[in-house]
Amino acid sequence: MTTQRLVGDPVPLGDRRSGRVPVQPANAALDYRRQARARGLRKALLDAVSVLMVVVPVAIFLAQGNAALFTSLAGGLLGLGMLSGLVATALLCQMLLLAARIPFVDDTLGQDRALIRHRKLNTSMISLLIMHALLLLAGYAAQAGTNVVTEFLGLWPVRDFVLAVASMALFAVVGLSSAAAARARLSHEVWWMIHLVSYLAVLVSIPHQFSLGGMFAQGAARWYWAAMFLVAFFCLLCFRVFLPIFNSLDHRLTVTTVEPAGRDAVSISLRGEHMGQLGLRAGQYFGFRFLAPGLWWHEHPFSTSSTVRDDGSFRITVQAAGAGTRALMRVRPGTPVLVEGPYGMFSDRARTREAVVLLGAGSGIGPIRALLESTGIVPGRAMVVLRAAHPGALYLYDEIRALCQARGVRLVTMVGHRARSRGAAAWTSADHAGTHLADLAPWVRDADVYVCGPDGFMDAVLVDARMAGVPGKQLHHERFSW
């Protein structure tokens, strides 16, 4: 009888003494393609839902006979103002859903791509909200033969209008703090606290949507609009608050060992109860809160650097990047840990092909090691590239070398300063100047490429992979920046 292993199940490490390499099931490539097709379908479904969320309120607007507004200038301004408000609110609810870390969304887009969508929608949403306010005031002014300021002051005594203005002001604060230049100056914690204000901004904007304008005053339209907000807030509470609390209480994770993993990094092993139920895939990440003095008040995302062992333990590898991670170097065994996750598509679940190239630099080496341990490998069609500025930053090198030997994977290490290519910094080291991915793995076009590390390194690898003809859906990356 043969045992069939499903795609994504951990692959045994193999017997290092006999040198036997685990054999990939013959149908693995087929399964990876099937997995990619299923993910493509889920993505199409999500795209359809996001289009529908915009189309439905516009259809309600038209069904209520509002097209007639466009027969006069004042009516046209009011109509456009209403439409921009409707679309802005639909986009806002999509942003809430993308931030809610709904497992279906995470499994389909990955958390970082969901957040990229969230940020892109933010710009359109804020622009539409400003248009909404200005166009409506201009429309009322044109109708009454007054001006925008008179109309604003005339509406000021209306409570729901005041709340709507307050909501705009709060959105402006959040929007400004999210701008790249401002984010670079704010600590992650301060930015996060300001971001919480956006939920208040949404809440105080809700009353005027039902009372002013009359579109959602009654009937099915009212129920649809209310349901949209209820679903968004339910998902946020459920997946961002209750599920993490439940998981942390249920799995009771504690630190078991802390070991050096390089000059400025440690590997922290954690063990929890019935970890199989958590659905963790090697390479995914959690938000961790270590319940020790000086550490409990900040949460940090870290990727797993191993699979889950039979005893319910797994490992993360942490590089000292700032004050919080430096303090973590001294965390003690026995420390309880709260977790939010697992999140992300940087795992076997993103595989689409039987060949694979794994590239890691700095703290990005941790999830690369986890993937190397767990993902399907066809000897001769797999390569690991480790990149470090100095030998002390080749984290987990001995383990990775042993895994590569056991699994028949080619290992390339590049240490030292970055080479330059056509005037720009390349991803390779200076002693590999002019080397491209396609030189190291001529079959890379038909491989999944996973890359994790500093932004500059990842961006240069992604450019090189695209130049080698690797399609976007075969490129997988996890950004450690926020």
Ligand X SMILES: Cc1cc2nc3c(=O)[nH]c(=O)nc-3n(C[C@H](O)[C@H](O)[C@H](O)COP(=O)(O)OP(=O)(O)OC[C@H]3O[C@@H](n4cnc5c(N)ncnc54)[C@H](O)[C@@H]3O)c2cc1C
Stretch that binds ligand X, among 35-43, 69-77, 196-204, 296-304 (CB under 6 A): 296-304
The least distance separating ligand X from the CB of residue 327, rounded to whole angstroms, comes to 8
- Kindly tell me which of 140 and 286 has the beta carbon lying closer to ligand X: 286
The least distance separating ligand X from the CB of residue 251, rounded to whole angstroms, comes to 19
- Kindly tell me which of 268 and 447 has the beta carbon lying closer to ligand X: 268
The least distance separating ligand X from the CB of residue 299, rounded to whole angstroms, comes to 6
The least distance separating ligand X from the CB of residue 262, rounded to whole angstroms, comes to 10
For the segment 127-166, give every residue that binds ligand X (CB under 6 A). none
Given candidates 84, 347, 363, 429, which one binds ligand X under the rule CB under 6 A?
363
Helix (H, G, I), strand (E, B) or coil at 440: helix
The C-alpha angle 375, 313, 400, rounded to 5 degrees, equals: 45
Which tokens is 80 given?
Answer: 């456009």
What gap in Å lies between CA 189 and CA 295, rounded to an integer?
Answer: 13
In terms of Cα–Cα distance, which of 327, 319, 316 is closest to 363? Answer: 319
For the segment 459-478, give every residue that binds ligand X (CB under 6 A). 478
Residue of this chain nearest to ligand X (CB atom):
322
For the segment 297-326, give every residue that binds ligand X (CB under 6 A). 300-303, 316-319, 321-325
What gap in Å lies between CA 273 and CA 257, rounded to an integer?
Answer: 16
- Kindly tell me which of 30 and 323 has the beta carbon lying closer to ligand X: 323
Ramachandran quadrant class, 375 (left: phi over 0; alpha: psi -120 to 50; beta: rest): beta
- Residue 317's beta-bridge partner residues? 267
For the segment 177-196, give every residue that binds ligand X (CB under 6 A). 187-188
Runs of H (alpha helix) within 212-281: 219-236, 243-251
In terms of Cα–Cα distance, which of 152, 171, 172, 150 is closest to 162? Answer: 152
The least distance separating ligand X from the CB of residue 380, rounded to whole angstroms, comes to 29
In terms of Cα–Cα distance, which of 373, 385, 361 is closest to 478? Answer: 361
The least distance separating ligand X from the CB of residue 330, rounded to whole angstroms, comes to 13
Q: How many residues bind ligand X (CB under 6 A)?
A: 21
Binding mask 341-360 for ligand X (x = CB under 6 A): --------------------
| 366 is an interface residue for ligand X by CB under 6 A | yes
The least distance separating ligand X from the CB of residue 305, rounded to whole angstroms, comes to 7
Contact 379, 405 (CB under 8 A): no
What gap in Å lies between CA 49 and CA 46, rounded to an integer?
Answer: 5
In terms of Cα–Cα distance, which of 296, 449, 345, 333 is closest to 109? Answer: 345
- Kindly tell me which of 205 and 303 has the beta carbon lying closer to ligand X: 303
Angle, helix 188-211 to helix 219-236, in steps of 10 degrees: 160
Contact 389, 451 (CB under 8 A): no
Binding mask 11-50 for ligand X (x = CB under 6 A): ----------------------------------------
Contact 289, 378 (CB under 8 A): no
Binding mask 251-290 for ligand X (x = CB under 6 A): ----------------------------------x-----
- Kindly tell me which of 167 and 284 has the beta carbon lying closer to ligand X: 284
Q: What is the separation of C-alpha 20 from the centre of its chain, rounded to a whole number of angstroms?
A: 37
- Kindly tell me which of 247 and 284 has the beta carbon lying closer to ligand X: 284
Q: What is the separation of C-alpha 297 from the centre of its chain, rounded to a whole number of angstroms?
A: 22
What gap in Å lies between CA 203 and CA 85, rounded to an integer?
Answer: 15
- Kindly tell me which of 34 and 309 has the beta carbon lying closer to ligand X: 309
**Residues of the shown chain interacting with ligand X in the complex, contacts defined by CB under 6 A:** 187-188, 285, 300-303, 316-319, 321-325, 363, 366, 478, 480, 482
